[in-house]
Amino acid sequence: AQSVSQHNHHVILSEAASLELGCNYSYGGTVNLFWYVQYPGQHLQLLLKYFSGDPLVKGIKGFEAEFIKSKFSFNLRKPSVQWRDTAECFCAVSDTGRRALTFGSGTRLQVQP
Amino acid sequence: SAVISQKPSRDICQRGTSLTIQCQVDSQVTMMFWYRQQPGQSLTLIATANQGSEATYESGFVIDKFPISRPNLTFSTLTVSNMSPEDSSIYLCSGGSGMNTGELFFGEGSRLTVL
C-alpha cells in the first residue's frame, strides 16, 4: 500500500522568505506525484504534478517541486512566499494503475505580512 | 478540467439519521471518488464510485454505512447512514479523466455536523 509523509505540520514564515515543505512516499513502483493546496474557504486545487520526464516541475503561482527517486521525496519549494500563499498544502501520490490519490497529512502554511 | 458541484454544502444532522450527498460534474469523467476529511486531518479515500455497478470500498468503509450510486459518468451520490457524531466531517467528491497524468478535481465538499 502507498503512504505519504509530510513532516512539517505547521510552518510559519514571513513574506519574502523561502519555503520548502517535505514530502516522502513509500511505494516501490512507478508513481504520479502531486501537490494540492486548499486556500481558506476554497476547494482543493492542483499546484503541480509529476508523472515523467524532468524531475523538477514548475506549477502555478511560482511553486516548484523536485522528484528525487532515490530518496522517495517530492519536496515543494517557493523562493519567496507571499501573504496570499497562506493555505493548507497536501502532497499526494497515485500509482499508474490506480487513479485514486493517497494524501499526506497536510502542512498548514501561514505567511505573515 | 472539470467543475464539480456538491450539495448540500453543509448540514446539521441528528444522530441515527441518514443523509445523501449529491455530486455533479460538468463534463464526463472516467473516475469518481469519495473522500472524507475529518476535522484537522487529511483526506481519506472512502470508495471508488463505479458507473452502473457497486462501488469499491477502502478498508474500514462498508457499503451498509456509505452506500454509493453512480448512474452515469457525471453524477454520483454518497449516503452516510445511521449517523453518529464520529461521522462529523467534510465529504469530498472528486473526479478525473483517467488520462495518464492522474490529476483529480475536487468539489468544495459537504460539511456534516452530527449532533
Distance to chain A for B9, nearest Cα, Å:
12
Q: How many CA atoms lie within 13 A of B92 on its CB side?
A: 23
Contact A102, B45 (CB under 8 A): yes
* Chain B residue with minimum CA distance to A47: B103
Q: State the Cα–Cα distance between residues A61 and B19, nearest whole angstrom.
A: 38
What is the number of CB-based contacts under 8 A between chain A and chain B? 53
Strand-pairing partners, residue B111, are B10, B90
Residues of A in contact with B106 (CB under 8 A): 36, 43-45
Q: Does B1 touch chain A (CB under 8 A)?
A: no
pLDDT digits (tens, 9 = 90+) for A50-70: 988 999 999 999 999 999 999
* Cβ neighbours of A40 (radius 10 Å): 7
Nearest to B109 by CA among B15, B21, B29: B21
* Chain B residue with minimum CA distance to A91: B42
Indicate the DSSP class of residue B73.
T
* Chain A residue with minimum CA distance to B34: A100
Distance to chain B for A37, nearest Cα, Å:
11
Distance to chain B for A48, nearest Cα, Å:
10
- pLDDT tens track, chain A, 113 positions: 778 999 889 999 999 999 999 999 997 778 889 999 999 888 899 999 998 899 999 999 999 999 999 999 999 999 999 999 999 999 999 876 667 899 999 999 999 98
Instruction: Mark yes or no for CB contact A43/B106 under 8 Å.
Output: yes
Indicate the DSSP class of residue B60.
T
Q: Does B111 touch chain A (CB under 8 A)?
A: no
Reported as a pLDDT band with limits 50, 70 and 90, residue B27 is confident
Q: Does A11 touch chain B (CB under 8 A)?
A: no
Nearest to B29 by CA among B87, B107, B108, B81: B107
pLDDT the model gives residue B101: 60
Q: How many residues does chain A have?
A: 113
Buried b (16+ CB within 10 A) or exposed e, A17-39: eebebebbbeeeeebbbbbbbbe
Residues of B in contact with A9 (CB under 8 A): none
Q: How far apart are the first and last CA of chain B?
A: 37
Contacts 24+ apart (CB under 8 A), A42-45: A42/B108, A43/B4, A43/B106, A43/B107, A43/B108, A43/B109, A44/A90, A44/B92, A44/B106, A45/B106
* Cβ neighbours of A16 (radius 10 Å): 10
pLDDT digits (tens, 9 = 90+) for A66-81: 999 999 999 999 999 9
Q: Does A49 touch chain B (CB under 8 A)?
A: yes
Q: State the Cα–Cα distance between residues B83 and B8, nearest whole angstrom.
A: 16
pLDDT digits (tens, 9 = 90+) for B86-99: 999 999 999 987 65
Instruction: Mark yes or no for CB contact A90/B43 under 8 Å.
Output: yes
H, E, C per residue of A78-106: ECCCCHHHCEEEEEEEEECCCCCCEECCC
pLDDT the model gives residue B40: 79
Nearest to B83 by CA among B105, B66, B108: B66
Distance to chain B for A57, nearest Cα, Å:
13
Reported as a pLDDT band with limits 50, 70 and 90, residue B60 is very high
Average pLDDT of chain A to the nearest whole number = 92
